[in-house]
Amino acid sequence: MSQAPLKILITGQFGQVSRELQLRLADLGELIVLGRDQLDLSQPEGIRQRVRDLRPDLIINAAAHTAVDQAETEEDLAFAINARAPGIFAQEAASLDIPLIHYSTDYVFDGRKDSPYNEDDEPNPLGVYGRSKLEGEQAIRAVGGKHLILRTSWVYSLHGRNFLLTMQRLLQEKPELRVVADQIGAPTWAGTIADSTRTIIEHWRNGDPGAWGTYHLTAKGETSWFGFAQEIGKHLLAQDKPCSILEPIPSSAYPTPAARPLNSRLDCNKLEHEWRVHLPNWRDALIECLAPLA
């Protein structure tokens, strides 16, 4: 027996995760994809009215103020989009008795732990971006209801602005390139996040969901930004393209307006167990992401 089509509201029209969601969820029903031109996330009443007009079956909030350094000088905007808007979505989702899926970040942690963070570890963000994302999580939890907060890290894709695309360009332009080697995490393809979200939605629709709440969602394995750059360089060389000589440097040699956590590793065992999500190794996911360019 076929299932009724879903009406899914997705925010962040041109964002990395939103683009991949649009590809992977298209056959589930009607996707209502809203960018900033259609929905200003800094205007709470506009959010409320749009959700009430649309009456979706599921809300996926893939929009965020993700410019980490810029957030330091745009605190009000970052908190409006990353903190207050998620709370509004949670309230409206609860009133409709529908699920909300929201994406958060490793930046809610300070990176001082020696091992991967699990969901019960105490957050301690280092900057405005992390604080605003943490407040968004707290706003959703305060509402309760059917919600999933999925923390991820080091997101990349073939769209938008991200480390992969920046490195592909710089590695071909510069003879030498210095890259930070003391920040450790798991590069996570936006396609992996979208695939995992699809799996979650299917379990929910089949009446076999895991527990609602907060989960970690990254690729498996770990590396540094330097190691990620090395892997990107290998793919360029395999295509006979030029590639810089890479030099590892500490974070202290590359100061930025916002501090970054040195340890961005997230333990994803809870998500894999509760929602039966298969997460690939980060190198395998990178190969899959780059396949269209091969």
Angstrom distance (rounded) from CA 94 to CA 100: 8
The rounded distance, in Å, linking the Cα atoms of 281 and 85 is: 32
> Cα–Cα distance between 70 and 79 in angstroms, integer?
13
Token pair belonging to 21:
């969601």
Q: Kindly state the helix (H) or strand (E) to which residue 177 belongs, with its residue range.
A: strand 176-180
Characterize 227-261 residue by residue with b for buried, 16 or more Cβ atoms within 10 angstroms of its Cβ, and e for exposed.
Answer: bbbbbbbebbeeeeeebbebebeebeeeeeebbbb
Q: Is 129 a catalytic residue?
A: yes
> Measured in Å, how far apart are the chain's first and last C-alpha atoms?
40
Catalytic residue among 103, 107, 117, 129: 129
Which stretches of 55-118 are DSSP H helices?
68-71, 75-79, 85-96
Distance CA 137, CA 278 (A): 24
Structure tokens at 39: 């929905």
Asked if 100 contacts 89 with a C-beta cutoff of 8 angstroms, the reply is yes
Catalytic residue positions?
129
